[in-house]
Structure formats: structure tokens, C-alpha cells
Amino acid sequence: MNEYRYDHQTVQGFILSAIFWGVVGIVVGLLISVQLWAPGANFAPYLTYGRLRTVHTNGLAFGLGVGAIFGLSYYIVMRLTRRPLLFPKLARAQLWLFNAGIALAAISLLMGQTQSLEYAELEWPLDIAIVVLWVMFAVNVIGTIVKRREEQMYVSLWYVLATVVAVAVLYLVNNLSVPAGLTKSYHLFAGANSANVEWWYGHNAVGFVFTTPILAMFYYFLPKSTGLPIFSHRLSIVAFWSLVFAYLWTGAHHLVYTPLPDWLQTLAIVFTIFLIAPSWGSVVNGYYTVGQDWSKMRSTYLTKFFVLGITFYGLQTVQGPTQALRVVSQLIHFTDWVPGHVHMGTMGWVTMVTTASIYYVIPKIHGTEIHSERIANVHFWLVLVGQLLFSITMWITGIRQGWMWKATDASGKLLYPNFVDTVVDNYPMWQARTLAGVVFTVGMLFFVYNVIMTIRKGRALEAQAVARSAPAAAPAA
Amino acid sequence: MSDQKLYSKPILFTLVATVTILVGSIVTMAYPVFRNDMNQKVPGLRPLPALELAGRDVYQRESCNACHTQTVRPLRSEVVRYKGDHAEVPAARYSLAGEFAYDHPFLWGSKRTGPDLAFEGWVKPSREWQAAHLRDPRKLVPRSNMPAYAFLADAKLDGESVAAHMRALRVVGVPYTDADVAGAPAAVAGKTELDALVAYTVSLGKAVDRSRKPGRIDLAEANPAAGNAEEIQRGHRLFEDNGCTACHGDEAEGIEGVAPSLVDDVFLEVKGDMPDAAYQAIILFGSDAKRALGRAGRPDGGMPPAELSDDDAWAVVAWLRSHAAHGAAEHPAEHK
């Protein structure tokens, strides 16, 4: 256990950093949700909706998401290779650079420094810092796996490795730009190509930040916390390869009916529909794993996080392909439906699995138990209710607004020619969304409290152990 | 190679995974970069002038694209909503790839919390309206949720940085001349960020001349595609691909009670043919062109404008002519 002590502190450092940036990102999310129905809540120039929205998305994707991925991937890699990290100091340096980078990123976004590419807003100096971070991560993950003390690589390691290479390729290509000063650059690609490269990146950021590393956690922590083996190894293999193959073809489904050539849109739509298969490969594998003993849902508090998480992953990966179809896209594209979809993935699938994994890891590295299962259960239900309320309101809003944009009378005249009429109609729904966000946030605060109390408990135990061993050591000396 | 081997060799595994990931990336991301259909440019497209470019930079800085899209989809309700003043835009259109050839990056957006701005220069061309609206949106649109951008009026533009931005854009392929760059500081001198954003906003949609009116038809204009075998063939294809056959018949022979023949010597229900330019105008402007041609034809409506370029329309006319001549040679009795 002591062999791992230093690395476990690094893992915990990433987890706590992720939680900190997560709280920042969620609070900013609440503020921008209020700004949508109360424009007086904009405080120009730094705290306007436009600038804050990027802080919200980047804070949660890179701060919470990537921070947790760094920490939990390191934990999984150490367990599955049966050894500490190959470069412990490098991982610690990565932790500091990560926090400095996210802090600078937040400031630069508030200053309005943005490439205007979704999920790739950060300007080129920060892009370079992120590339350095990722190389540090890749070197440690690959190095540790190469020097492993376990012959076979378990499925979680495949997903971690795929994440490492895919994110590297995606990030490098989409951020190709020509600097026009320290805080401004122009995308190398123009118009249709700029759009196509960006959404190849953007969709696969979802694929390789919000999917593959989360699946790595799912495949490791579900069997660990339930004691049930993964149902089918063969299914994991088929699902893995078909997922990482098909994902990269689908970016243009974000550009249906734009001036992008039809063939590219159609190709993306076809592969998007195909993606249902590998996604559901993991869903089925998850269900059948727990299906070996459903009583775990009651007896082991973490089981329901994973089961609900994989359920939202399953719903997400059917809803997403449905949205790619032209007939659906023409109605819901550009409406609130899409943020509703994204938030089911992030607040349902990603949050459920990540928080459950953290609940598993934190007590483990301190050799103790969770502070309170009851608080974890309260957290679970609040997050679940908040997320459902959020997504469902957004879907209703999206369909209504899409319909209002299209509605014409018998002579072909628009029924709602003033755009603002179709916006005002959303205000009550947006207020409901803010309420949903508050419920979700309270749930997450219960989670944060629970994690901190568990760490305090762990530290107290360690202090006791030291105190006990000290007098025992004295007579011997 | 057995499964076992692949999953116990991390370097090999990583390489195989990388190749797997690259296949789709190459086909759908890298290969299109070099294709013509991804690199179109509308005729006469010009880079944004200095003030407008400074405005685009402000648009990016404030993430206006978080709430405003800049692409009108080819859906009827959308084309109608964003066509602007219909009198000015006889051929209401959707966004074309070629309009964005100098957009680094694209600003099509992904969410319409506010309206699309692709044709804003046609929809709301008034600089005064745009400036007042940016300063205080709710003064003009009482229940709007847009943030107020009055602070932009206090920030003066920095000419040198606009020139530096032009130089960077030149590196990625935007054809700014030395004179453009040298003239940038003077062009934005004394202007504010608000002036710039307004100038950019009212320039949107003006890359394509959507103001073409049938009033400008020059009947003496010769058909550049006439007699060109390749163009004739292309014209035939365009005729079939653009749904012309639905009303005018597979061979342009007309459909009784729906639309007239295009290969006889009757034009808009008057005996006697007209020059190619008249045909081209009808293709481009639809029924709107009838009055300009001095022949009323059927009372109203009927033919919609085709979404074709000038050259495409000439090619279709060239095919119609060649097809008519061909028909006349085969059936001389019907064409005395």
C-alpha cells in the first residue's frame, strides 16, 4: 500500500481539482441559465452570457471531466498493471500544470479570448499548454502499461489507450491556426472546411472525453463495486473496436442542412445510426453484468449509479442517432432540444459514473469506508431528478420552438414572423430549467461534502495509525 | 494474430487503435479539405474591409455565435423567415458554401437563441437600428433576452492590431492586398467597437448579390454556352436534377394544363420566340421576370425561381435550344 501512497495523493489531487472546477462550472451554468430569462443578470463586459457560456462548457468538460479522467485513469492503470505509475513526479507536475492551465483558461475566456470553435475555444498559448499536459498523461499511461506486472490488458485499459491517441489527433488538427497576436488566432481552415473539421473534433470530443474514458471507469468500477464479473468479454471486444472505428465518421451530423455537401452529411448520418450497435453493446454488457444478481441494486449503494448511468448512456445513444436523421434535424436543430440531449449525457451518464467511481476510489486509497451512504443516496436522487427535469423541459422547449419557427398558415405565411415571440414563449420553460439546475447543484454539493468528510475520516485514521506505531517503536529503539 | 497477443502488447494495440481512428478521420475530415465541393467561392467574393473585419473580431470575442447562427438552411419556412424584404430579393435563397470561403473560422453556430444573421444585411440594413439595438436591445424589442452591449461604444479600435489581423489572415489564404493592410489603420481611425460590429452585421449576406432584379434583363446578351457540347450536356443534367421535368415534362415538351412546352415557338403564350436572355431570366427569376419581359403569360405565380447560377441557367438554355433544333430536324412537319 505504501508503494502507492505518493501516486494515490496525486490521484486524489486530480479528483479534488476536478470537483473544485466542477463546482465553478456548475455555478456558472446556473448563472447563464438565469441570464436566458433575466437579461439584467448580465454584467458587461466580463459576465455576459456569450463569454460565460464558454466558461461553463470548458470548466466542466476540461476542469471536471478531464480532471476526473486524469485521476481515475491513473488509478485504473495502477490497479490493472499491478504497479505504481512509471513517472510519479511527472504526474504530480501534471496536476499543478492542469490547475494553472484551467485557471488561466477561465480568465482568458472571461476576457473574450476565443477561437469561436465549440469545445476548442481556448487560444493558441493555452492550446500548447494542453498539448503538453496530454503528452505528460500519455507518457505516464503508456509507460506504466508497458512496464506492467500483469500479462493481459483488461478492457478498461483499451479505452484509456484509445482516449489517449484519439484526443491527441483531434486536438492537434482542429486547433491548427495562425496567430495574430498573443491572444488571437485564425483557424487554418475556412468556411465549409472549418465547420467540418470543427465538428469532426467536436463530436469526437464527446466520443473520447465523455464516452471512452467513462466506459473505462464503467468496465472497471462496476465489477469492482458489485463483485460481479463483466458478462461478456467477447461483447466488450466487438463493442470497443466498432465504437472507436465508427465514431470518427459522424461529425457532420452536426451540420445537417448546412452548406456542407450532401454526401458528407449522408455518410455521417449512416455511421451515426450504426453507432447504436457498439454503444448498446456496452449497455447490454452492463445490464447483463448486474443481471447476474439484481439484489445488488439494494445491497450495494453504488450499483444504482452505474445502472442509471448506463441507462442514460443507452438513451443518449439512441436519441443522438435519431437527431441525426434529416427529418428530425430539420425540426430540432438550433433549438433547446440539443442542449437537453447534451445534458442527459453529461448530467446523467458522465456524472453518475464519475461520481460513483470517486465514491469507490476515495475510501479505497484511505483504507476506509464512505462517510455516509445515506448522503450518497440523497445525492443520487437529487441529481437524477434534477437531470430529468432539466432534459425533459429542454426537449419540450425545443419541439415547441422548432414547430413555431416552421408554422405557416394556408397561404404559406409564417404564423410567428417575429422571432422574439418564439423566444418569449420559452421563458417559463427556462425558469423551470434553472430550478432543475438548482436541484442538481444541491445534489452535487451533497456529493462534495461526502467526499471531503471521507477524506477527513481517512486522514484521522492515518494519524491514529501513526500515533499507535510511534510509542510502539520507542521501546524497541 | 490471436486476440491474446494484441491485448498483451500495448504498443501494437495503440498502433492498431490509432489506425482504426484515422480511417474515418481521413475520409470525412482530411480528404474533403482537398475537394472542390468543399472549396467553393461565390463569384465576386471579397474579403471583409478593415472596419467589418474588426467587427467580426468583436463578434467572436463576445461569442455572438453562442446565440446567433449564420446559416439559412434550405427549408421553406426558413428561407421565407430570413429572406429580408421580398421586393429586394426576388430569388429568396439559403446559405451557399461559397459565401464562406474567407470565414476563418466559420461562424454558422449551433443554437438559435436569437435569430439567424446570415442575411442580416438584407433583413435589417439600418445601421442606426443595429447600433441602437446593440446598446439596449429592450428599447427596440421589449421582451428580448439579449445582453446590452453599450460598452462597445466606449472602446476605440486599434488600427495596428486590425492590420496585424489582416496579415495573419493573409497567411491562411485571405487575399488582402498590401494596400488593404496599409490602409487598415486609417480605415478604422476614430471608430469604436460598436461601429465595427454594426458594420460587420449589416455586411452579412451581401457576399452574394441577392438584389438581382428582373428589371435589368439585357435581351441582347449572348448565351456563352450556346453550341458548346459539354455545356449542353450539363444543361440537360441540370434540367433533370433541378426538378424542371416535374412541370415541363421529361423532354421539355410541356405537360398539358401544368406548364408549357419549352421547345416550340410559343413563348409565354404568345406566338414567336424570344432570345436566350429571356429564357435565362425566367429560369433565374421565375414568374417575377414575366412583366419585365413584357409578356404576362398566365396571370400569376406558376414558376418559382431556380436555385441556379447564371452559368448554369445559360447551360440549360443551350440544351433547350439544341434539343428544340434536334426535334425540328427529326419532325420537320411539326415545325414549319
> Is it the case that residue B92 has pLDDT exceeding 70?
no
> Is B147 at the interface with chain A, CB within 8 A?
yes
A379 within 8 A of A400, measured Cβ to Cβ? no
Of B8, B146, B168, the CB nearest to A151: B8
DSSP A361-401: HHHHHHTS--S-HHHHHHHHHHHHHHHHHHHHHHHHHHHHH
Residue A64 half-sphere exposure, CB side, CA atoms within 13 Å? Answer: 27
For residue A42, list chain B residues with Cβ-Cβ distance below 8 A: 147-148
Contact B22 A169 (CB under 8 A): yes
The set of cell numbers assigned to A127 is 492550446
**In chain A, whose CA is at the least distance from the CA of B170?**
A178
CA-based nearest distance B42→chain A, Å: 12
**Does residue A223 have a cis peptide bond before it, meaning omega lies within 30 degrees of 0?**
no
Q: Given a cut of 50, is residue A347 above it in pLDDT?
A: yes
Nearest Cα of chain A lies from the Cα of B22 at a distance, in angstroms, of 8
pTM metric for this prediction: 0.85
Within this chain, do residues B123 and B162 fall inside the same structural domain, yes or no?
A: yes
Q: Which amino acid is at B121?
A: G
DSSP summary character for residue B226: T
- Cell 409564417 found at: A414
B25 with A200: Cβ contact below 8 A: yes
| CA dihedral of A177, A180, A185, A186, whole degrees rounded to 10 | -70
- Checking if the pLDDT of B258 tops 80, the result is no
Tell whether B222 and B193 lie within a shared domain. Answer: no
Q: What is the pLDDT of residues A23-45, one digit of tens each?
A: 999 999 999 999 999 999 999 99
B86/B194 same-domain check:
yes
- Asked if the model's pLDDT at residue B2 lies above 90, the reply is no
pLDDT of B102 strictly over 50: yes
Q: How many domains does chain B have?
A: 3
Phi and psi (nearest 5°) for A345? -65, -45
Q: How confident is the model at residue A210 (pLDDT cuts 50, 70, 90)?
A: very high
The parent domain of residue B34 ranges over 3-38
B59 and B89 belong to one structural domain: yes
Asked whether residue B32 falls in the same domain as residue B157, the answer is: no
A355 to chain B, any CB pair closer than 8 A? The answer is no
Nearest to B92 by CA among B241, B300, B288, B240: B288
> Phi and psi at residue A433, in whole multiples of 5°?
-65, -40
SS (H, E, C) A321-367: HHHHCHHHHHHHCECCHHHHHHHHHHHHHHHHHHHHHHHHHHHHHHC
Instruction: Determine how β-strand B266-267 pairs with β-strand A185-187.
Output: unpaired
Phi, psi dihedral angles at B102 (to 5 degrees) = -110, 15
Decide: helix, strand or coil at residue A83: coil
Within this chain, do residues B198 and B230 fall inside the same structural domain, yes or no?
Answer: no
Closest to A354 in 3D by CA, of A57, A56, A69: A69
Q: Is the same domain home to B183 and B308?
A: no
pLDDT of B133 reads: 97
B137 & B251 share domain: no
CA distance linking residue B327 with residue B330, whole number of Å = 5
Contact (Cβ atoms closer than 8 angstroms) between residue B187 and residue B52: no
For residue B43, tell me if it sits in a domain.
Answer: no
d(CA B82, CA B80): 6
Is B324 contained in some domain?
yes
End-to-end Cα, chain B, rounded Å:
78
Residues A297/A391/B70/B140 CA torsion (nearest 10 deg): -160
How open is the CA angle B118-B48-B58, to the nearest 5 degrees?
70
Say whether pLDDT at B206 is over 90.
no
Residue B210 lies inside a defined structural domain of this protein: no
User: Which has the minimum average pLDDT: A291-300, A437-446, A466-475, B34-43?
Assistant: A466-475
CA distances B74 to A155, A190, A450, B78, Å, are 45, 21, 52, 7
Task: Specify whether B147 is located in the same domain as B30.
Answer: no
Best probe of the B interface among A123, A170, A423, A424, by most B CBs < 10 A, is A423
The whole-angstrom separation of Cα A296 and Cα B90 is: 67
Domains, chain A, in order of start with CATH, read: 1-188 (1.20.210.10)
Q: What is the mean pLDDT of chain B?
A: 87
Q: Cell match 443507452: residue? A: A314
Residue B281 in contact with residue B293, Cβ under 8 Å?
yes
Q: Could you tell me the pLDDT band of residue B268, with boundaries at 50, 70 and 90?
A: confident
Q: Residue A351: is it exposed, middle or buried by C-beta count within 10 angstroms (0-12/13-18/19+)?
A: buried
Query: Cβ contact (<8 Å) for B80 and A414?
Result: yes
Whether residue B199 is found in the same domain as residue B229: no
CB B260, CB B266: distance < 8 Å: yes
Distance, in Å, from the CA atom of B9 to the CA atom of B19, rounded to the nearest integer, reads 16
Q: What is the mean pLDDT of residues A285-304?
A: 97
What's the CATH code of the domain at B173?
1.10.760.10
pLDDT > 70: percent of chain A: 98
B209, part of any domain: no
- A468 pLDDT above the threshold of 80: yes
pLDDT at B301 over 70: no
Residue that finishes a domain, picked among B148, B171, B203:
B203
- Which contiguous run of DSSP H or E holds residue A185? strand A185-187
Residue where a domain terminates, one of B151, B173, B203? B203
Q: What is the pLDDT of residue A424?
A: 96
Rounded distance between C-alpha atoms, residue B38 and residue A83, angstroms: 50
- Would you state the pLDDT for residue B216? 62
Specify whether B141 is located in the same domain as B230. Answer: no
State yes or no: pLDDT of B300 exceeds 70: no
Query: Whose grid coordinates read 467561392?
Result: B41
- Asked whether residue B330 falls in the same domain as residue B260, the answer is yes
**3-state secondary structure string, B13-78?**
HHHHHHHHHHHHHHHHHHHHHCCHHHCCCCCCCCCCCHHHHHHHHHHHHCCHHHCCCCCCCCCHHH
Instruction: Please give the Cα distance from A237 to A240 (Å, whole number).
Output: 5
Distance CA B74, CA A108 (A): 37
